[in-house]
Structure formats: structure tokens, C-alpha cells
Structure 1
Amino acid sequence: MPTRLKSFIGMLLLVTMVIVYALVATTVATYRLADSEWYIHLAFFGLSGLLWVVPAMFVISWMLKPSKKEIERNKQ
């Protein structure tokens, strides 16, 4: 798969993932943390703010990995 196509697909995946993740995290916080203390809110939003990085890391590493054709082309 060409690098430009992988970058485009990865960008769409990342944008979609961040939007869905933000909506889910906010919904969980609204319904589960309504009566919680401030430090519970801080811990939840701190953890959920960092948790999306893990799947994004895999998408970005896939985007940056060269295709087999590019590897063969660079060997020559």
C-alpha cells in the first residue's frame, strides 16, 4: 500500500478514534462520576486523557512503516 494512502487512512482512523473516545469518556464521566469527589474526577480525566495514546501509537507506527515495495526499491 502506498505511503500516502496509508497516511490518509491513518489520519481518518485517528480523527474518528479521538472523537469517539472523547464522547465515550465524557458520557462515562457524566453518568458514573456525577456525585464523586474532585480527586476522582481528576484521576479519571487524567487517566482517560492519556489512555487514547496507546491505540494511536499503533496506528501511527503502522502509518510510518514502509511498504514492501518501498523497502525493495531502497535496497536497489
Structure 2
Amino acid sequence: MPQRIRKLIGTVLLLLLVVVWALSAMALAQGRVTELGWFLQLVCYVLLGALWIIPGGLLIRWMERPDRNV
């Protein structure tokens, strides 16, 4: 698959990832996290806000992979 197509697909998937992750994190934070103590709330908010970087980084790595020379 050419890099140009991978970037198009990856951009759409990255936008979907951010939207789905944000909505899921908000739902989880409103439901369960508010019942925890302040320190555990802080840890949960930091993790929910930062863990999307892992799948996003893998997706960006896939997008930036060079084309195969055929």
C-alpha cells in the first residue's frame, strides 16, 4: 500500500481514535472515577488523558513506514 493511502487511512483512524477515546474517557470518569479519593482521581485522569498516545503512536508509525520497492 502506498504511503499516501496509508496517511489518508491513518488520519481518519486517528481522528476516530481521539473522538472515541475522549467520549469513553468522559463516560468512565463521570461514572466511576468521581467515587474515588482525590489522589486516585488524579491518577485516573492522568492515565485516561495520556494512554491514547500508545495506539496513536503505533498508528502514526504505520502511516510513516516507507513504501516497499517492488
Q: Which category describes the TM-score, using the shorter chain as reference length?
A: 0.7 to 0.9
Shift of 1:67: 1.8
Instruction: Return the alpha-carbon distance in structure 1 between the equivalents of residues 38 and 67 of structure 2.
Output: 48
Instruction: Return the alpha-carbon distance in structure 2 between the equivalents of residues 18 and 43 of structure 1.
Output: 20
Structure 1 outlier segments of 4+, above 4 Å: none
User: How far does the alpha carbon of each residue in 1:29-66 deviate from its partner, in whole angstroms, 9 at most, with x for none?
Assistant: 10102233332221111111110000011100000001
Residue type at the aligned position of 2:59 = V
Instruction: Return the alpha-carbon distance in structure 2 between the equivalents of residues 38 and 8 of structure 1.
Output: 41
Q: If the length of structure 2 is used for normalisation, what is the TM-score?
A: 0.88
Q: Which has the larger radius of gyration?
A: 1
User: How far does the alpha carbon of each residue in 1:3-27 deviate from its partner, in whole angstroms, 9 at most, with x for none?
Assistant: 1111110000100001001111110
What root-mean-square deviation, in Å, do the aligned CA atoms of Structure 1 and Structure 2 show?
Answer: 1.3
Partner of 2:58: 58
